[in-house]
Chain A
Amino acid sequence: MLLIGLVYAALNGTMSEVTEGVFTGAKEAVAICIGLISVLTFWLGLMKVAETAGILKQLAKLVHPLARRVFPEVPKDHPAMGYILSNLTANVFGLGNAATPMGIKAMEELKRLNGGKDEASRSMITLLALNTACLTLVPTTVISIRMSYESEAPTDIVSTTIFASGCAMIGAICIDRFFYYLRSRKERSS
């Protein structure tokens, strides 16, 4: 993407904008990470409390029948399942900044399950797919923007959002399965 951008800029004569883009991009990235500090610190602290109190394990047990089908590689009662579930729940309720720390925690546990390799495991890809396309019940930010523009019914997009995100989620699971199938077939034949 960087190369396409550079080549296009050379042809288009937008090199000065590109130079600026490099630095705004870098600045934005650091700003996001600094902003993440507050959220991550708070939620990781709270999640640690939840884990020590055994709440995560209970959650994992509760959804295990369903989650086992989506994440077949995660063993029963493993804390990863608890994190995955809290991450997805936060996503469903549109709590973006609460979802991120839980997702990262889940990834950490999945990495441990995968023997600490720097390669993405099957469950990691599934979790990512579910995060980029997760069922959304309450798109909070969108509703508030619609309110500020004096919409007659700011929440009437909730039903369409539920439908569209639900389709995306089912799609994500199917697509993930399909790619896994392709990968495992390649491995078997080689």
Chain B
Amino acid sequence: MEWLTALSVWMIPVLIGTVILVATIRRVPTYETFVSGAKEGFGMSVSIIPYLVGMLVAIYVFRASGAMEALVSGMAPFLSWFGVPADIVPLALLRPISGTGALGLMTDLTAVHGPDSYIGRLAATLQGSTDTTFYILTVYFGAVGIKKMGDALKVGLLADLVGIIAAIFIVSLIFGS
């Protein structure tokens, strides 16, 4: 697996190098083109602000009110009945909502249970294999001004659920206690 880690380190520099090289060979005015594309970056970031503020305020209120915790503790016994360790439940529920929050929880689980414990590995797999659905939804749709999102949220969250189930299954199969 060493080569995979090396690959991810080399990926970005190689990518940048290739693009510049090909562009130079094909006589594209590289710097001018870069600047004209990069100009869009600022406006795009600013245009996301209203969407992200709306979404994050709702999420923060939901968490701060204690409703999130109530949901987690309400579901924990039900889930542990399926063999899902209770410690992992908050992480699984927080993962689609808040990227930094989930990362914090995962770090915490790693610290408390140890990185090579069953829970530590499950937390790591969960963190690595799913993404912050709400954030992606807001940023991607916000940047291009999509207001009606159709089935996107449902599809994203259900896919997260598949990922969570698959993570629990494979970790208990390989590293099971």
In the complex, A133 Cα to B157 Cα: how many Å? 9
Question: Across the interface, do A53 and B22 meet the contact criterion of CB distance under 8 Å?
Answer: yes
The reply to whether the CB of A25 lies closer than 8 angstroms to some CB of chain B is yes
Cβ–Cβ < 8 Å partners of B20 in chain A: 49
Output the nearest chain A residue to B115 by Cβ-Cβ distance: A151
The reply to whether the CB of B45 lies closer than 8 angstroms to some CB of chain A is yes
Contact partner of B152 among A42, A125, A133, CB < 8 A? A125
Cβ–Cβ < 8 Å partners of A93 in chain B: 7-8, 11
Question: Across the interface, do A150 and B19 meet the contact criterion of CB distance under 8 Å?
Answer: no
Contact with B along A102-138 (1 / 0, CB 8 A): 0110011001000000111000110111011110111
Question: Across the interface, do B7 and A133 meet the contact criterion of CB distance under 8 Å?
Answer: no
The reply to whether the CB of A75 lies closer than 8 angstroms to some CB of chain B is no
Q: Which of B74-82, B83-91, B134-142 contacts A (4 or more CB under 8 A)?
A: B134-142
Interface of A is mostly: helix
Cβ–Cβ < 8 Å partners of B63 in chain A: 5, 21
Question: Across the interface, do B56 and A26 meet the contact criterion of CB distance under 8 Å?
Answer: yes
Known contacts A50-B23, A132-B96; A45/B5 CB under 8 A? no
Question: Across the interface, do A167 and B41 meet the contact criterion of CB distance under 8 Å?
Answer: no
Number of interface residues of A (CB under 8 A): 104
Q: Which range holds the interface residue count of chain B?
A: 35 or more
Contact partner of A49 among B37, B111, B151, CB < 8 A? B37
In the complex, A37 Cα to B40 Cα: how many Å? 10
Chain A interface residues (CB < 8 Å from chain B): 1-2, 4-6, 8-9, 12, 14, 17-18, 20-22, 24-26, 28-30, 32-34, 36-37, 39-55, 91, 93-95, 98, 100-101, 103-104, 107-108, 111, 118-120, 124-125, 127-129, 131-134, 136-143, 145-146, 149-161, 163-172, 175-176, 179-180, 183
Given contacts A133-B156, A175-B162, 17 further A-B contacts (CB under 8 A): A1-B61, A2-B62, A30-B53, A32-B52, A49-B23, A49-B37, A98-B15, A119-B146, A120-B146, A132-B130, A136-B128, A139-B127, A142-B127, A146-B115, A161-B125, A176-B151, A180-B151
Chain B interface residues (CB < 8 Å from chain A): 1-2, 4-5, 7-8, 11-12, 15-16, 18-20, 22-23, 26, 28, 30, 33-38, 40-42, 44-46, 48-49, 52-53, 55-67, 70, 96, 103, 106-107, 110-111, 114-116, 120-121, 124-133, 136-137, 139-141, 143-152, 154-156, 158-160, 162-163, 165-167, 170-171, 174-175
